[in-house]
Amino acid sequence: MDILYGVNATGDGHTSRARTLSPHLKRKGDIDLTYLFSGRVAHEYKDMGAFPDYQRRNGLILVQKDGKIDTWGTVKETLFGEHNLCRMFCDVAGVKSSDYDCVVTDFEPITSYAARLKRMPHIGIAHQYSFRHSLPAELNPWRLRLGATLMSPVKNHFGLHWDSFGKDILPPIFKAPLEGQIERGMILVYLGHEELSDIRAMLRPFTNQYEFHIYHKDIGEYDDCRDPGLVYKPKSSIAFKQDMAHCAGLITNAGFVSPSEVLHLGRKLLVKPVDGQIEQVSNARALEYLGYGRVMDRLDINIVRDWLDEPRAAKVRFPNVAEALSEWIVKGDFDDKERLKRDLWCGTEVHRVLKV
């Protein structure tokens, strides 16, 4: 079975999900995976050993400035930049439908448009597809629905979310995180879109009781700092996962993968959505709606204080979605979704009162 696997590389979550799902697909028999990544410049692709001979295309991107979506910058890039619509549709035309039995796309626009326009058997699998459904209004503004549809207009898709909301939505896909003994005073912090000096100022009032392990891309500026209770660490996915196994809670932006992992472990969760990213705002509201975490719309000492004093956390044990989904993909009947949804959500266990 020849599968074209498209991955949107604008966010780490898509690539992380591909790393998790691909080995399960390969174990299902005679499977030949061709990977197509788009959304980053060439030098930003790191640790790609899991994707041999992957293809790289420009695709489309969202331009960010000062931690916010730059709407005008995104429009200019889409029309006139390296990641423009004309080039993208040339790449769509270059996809040969006869070379593949099906397309799996993780919100990647080139493979999405190719599958839809050339009527190739396909399935979209990503968190963003959940926004194409009629979720509770506060979780799904019209701009988010429209953006998700324009970026990846596939007909067949599964959204991924922390609840099914009665739609074609599956639980999150992620590699089961390491589990270890909780260090009750240890709080993990990853706010990659915030200024490191602002994070430092927010946390210093609590360092007499807690030790904050702070991951950030600019950590080199603080290599020589010796702030009691603040441990500065350069960005590293391996070290981050190791710390997550022992932390009592996580303060992070309102992405999807890291909050999913923390919920699976049953640790406290406080999220701050990136300004201007309506997807992150929706994620934050969903955590509140489901009672799975706390939200701060800006770096707020008072909210951090209340959250640190909170003795409870949600624990949501998600099943092995990658294994069940890979079996379903190989069968190739993409219209038969009900049993897969039912089995996976029946295998999800929610514990709302867990002392940490």
pTM reported for the whole predicted model = 0.91
Q: Residue 186: name the closest of 205, 215, 207 by CA.
A: 207
State the CATH class of domain 2-174+319-349: alpha beta
Q: What is the Cα–Cα distance from 225 to 214, expressed in whole angstroms?
A: 13
**Domains in the chain: boundaries:** 2-174+319-349, 186-317
Residue 64 confidence (pLDDT): 72
Alpha helical stretches, state H, 9-158? 12-26, 71-80, 85-93, 109-117, 142-151
Kindly tell me the sign of the dihedral angle through the C-alpha atoms of 73, 79, 83, 88.
Answer: positive
Angle at 13 between CA 322 and CA 270, to 5 degrees: 105
| The pair of three-digit structure tokens given for residue 221, joined into one six-digit string | 């500026």
| CB neighbours of residue 1 within 10 Å | 15
Q: Over the stretch 151-177, which tens digit does the pLDDT of each residue have?
A: 999 999 999 999 999 999 999 999 988
Average pLDDT value over all residues in the chain: 91
Residue 68 confidence (pLDDT): 66
Q: Which CATH architecture has domain 186-317?
A: 3-Layer(aba) Sandwich (3.40)
Cα–Cα distances (Å) from 2 to 34, 101, 106, 110, in that order, read 8, 5, 17, 17
Beta strands in the chain (DSSP E): 2-8, 32-38, 55-57, 64-65, 68-69, 102-106, 122-126, 157-160, 169-170, 186-190, 211-216, 230-234, 249-253, 268-272, 294-295, 312-317, 349-355
Domain 2-174+319-349 identical in fold to domain 186-317: yes
Provide the terminal-to-terminal Cα distance of the chain, rounded to the nearest Å. Answer: 46
Residue 300 confidence (pLDDT): 98
Residue with tokens 């706010």: 191
Query: Average pLDDT for consecutive 10-residue bins of the chain (356 residues)?
Result: 96 90 93 96 87 94 72 86 92 96 98 97 96 81 85 96 96 91 94 92 97 89 71 89 96 95 96 89 95 96 97 94 97 92 97 62
Q: What is the Cα–Cα distance from 253 to 12, expressed in whole angstroms?
A: 13
Looking only at the bridges linking them, the beta strands covering 249-253 and 294-295 are unpaired
